[in-house]
Structures are given as C-alpha cells and as structure tokens.
Amino acid sequence: MTPSRPKIYFIRHGETDWNLEGRLQGQKDIPLNDVGRVQAEEAARKLQGLVPHVEDLAYVASPMIRTRETMEILRKTLGLHPESYRLDERLVELTFGVWEGMTWKEVRKAEPALAALREQDKWHYAPPGGGESYAMLVDRIRPILDDLTRDTVIVAHGGVARAFLSICCGVSSRQAASMDIWQGRVLVIEGRNYRWA
C-alpha cells in the first residue's frame, strides 16, 4: 500500500484590480486590492475552521506580490508570524505571453484566430510570445508534490490550482481548464478527492 500524500489546503490569492477588470495577469506582479485583503482574512478564518492546530501546517507560497500579501495577511489573521513561510518559484502563475495585461475581449479582437485556437484546446494551447499551456504548467508543478512532507497550505494562482486538480484528483484537462477557482476560500485536496471550504 502506498503512503497517502499530505493534505493540501490550496488558497488562491485575493482579488487584484486586474482580476476585477478581467485582465490576464499571468506573471505580471499586481498587488491585492482592498477586497483581496479581506478575502485573505476570510480564507484564514475558513482554514482555522478546518484545522484546529494551524501552527502544525507547512506554509508555501508563489513568490509574486499578490500571493505573498495573501499569505502574510492569512498568517497574521491566524496569529502566526506573517513572514515565516517558504517561497517556491515553481508556484508562479502560468504566463500568457504577449496577452498579459489584456482582457479576453481584447485578445479576441486583436488575434481572433489565435483566440479561437485556445478556445478549442485551453489545456494544450500556449499563447504567443513565450506563453505557457496548462500542460506545461503541470510539468512544472508535479515535482512540488514529491517535496511535501506534511499537510501544507499553498497560496498560489488559479492556473496552479487547476494543475493540482488535474495531477492530484484526476480532473480531466477539459474540465480543469474551465473550473472556477474561488478567492477567499480554501480548496482542500485530500488523496484523489477535493472540496471547497
């Protein structure tokens, strides 16, 4: 019998102004807005309700401003030292290449043929200008799972959550590519199962 993988408490960063405007952030370093800061506190309270001893968890975040800020608000709300967590470069969001900063409406207007290609196969399509596909992101994320030694809080991005759902829970690439990844909530990944809290 194979040992079970540690439980993952995945938290997407709180809202940014670009989220609000529907802009593709990718690897652009955009800070949280006021709503995003409140969402980080909400996620902390949900986590507290799930785990009696939050101090026993490992904490890892993407190194981007919006994820670090979410993690630090979360830890402060939990009564933990805000900056005592680990950063992992592999958790950065996938890049949308030259499309970063644009809305999907702007992408469809500027490059209708390429936008249509992505719509046909969101999982495998890599945007122009060095963009990444979800399939490429999965290859980057998979080794992180081998590094987990105990139940872990991961603060990262929507695309990263979709990659985890595909790898850990067997969610189909078509379904994972289109799933809503909520802000201010906790995605609990336990074995092959997941649920939102």
CATH number of the domain encompassing residue 61: 3.40.50.1240
Residue 64 lies in a domain: yes
Active-site residue flag, 93: yes
pLDDT band at 4 (very low <50, low <70, confident <90, very high): confident
Residue 1 lies in a domain: no
Residue 112 lies in a domain: yes
Reply yes or no on whether the pLDDT at 58 is more than 70. yes
Mean pLDDT of 149-154: 97
Residue 46 lies in a domain: yes
Give the pLDDT confidence of 101-125 residue by residue, as tens digits: 999 999 999 999 999 999 999 999 9
Direct distance between the N- and C-terminal alpha carbons of the chain, in angstroms, rounded to an integer: 29
Q: Could you give the number of structural domains in the chain? A: 1
Reply yes or no on whether the pLDDT at 5 is more than 80. yes
Give the domain extent around 115: 8-196
Reply yes or no on whether the pLDDT at 179 is more than 90. yes
Reply yes or no on whether the pLDDT at 2 is more than 60. no
Residue 128 lies in a domain: yes
Reply yes or no on whether the pLDDT at 130 is more than 70. yes
Distance CA 16, CA 97 (A): 19
Reply yes or no on whether the pLDDT at 182 is more than 60. yes
Beta bridge partners of 190: 193
pLDDT band at 1 (very low <50, low <70, confident <90, very high): very low
Over the chain, what is the mean pLDDT? Answer: 96
* Residue 168 token pair: 């850990």
Among the options 93, 100, 132, 157, which is catalytic?
A: 93
Reply yes or no on whether the pLDDT at 3 is more than 70. no
Active-site residue flag, 13: yes
92 CB-near residues (< 8 Å, 6+ apart): 27, 62, 63, 64, 156, 157, 160
Residue 3 lies in a domain: no
Reply yes or no on whether the pLDDT at 148 is more than 50. yes
Reply yes or no on whether the pLDDT at 23 is more than 80. yes
Confidence at residue 133, expressed as pLDDT on a 0 to 100 scale: 97
Residue 165 lies in a domain: yes
Residue 2 lies in a domain: no
Mean pLDDT of 12-28: 97
Give the pLDDT confidence of 87-101 residue by residue, as tens digits: 999 999 999 999 999
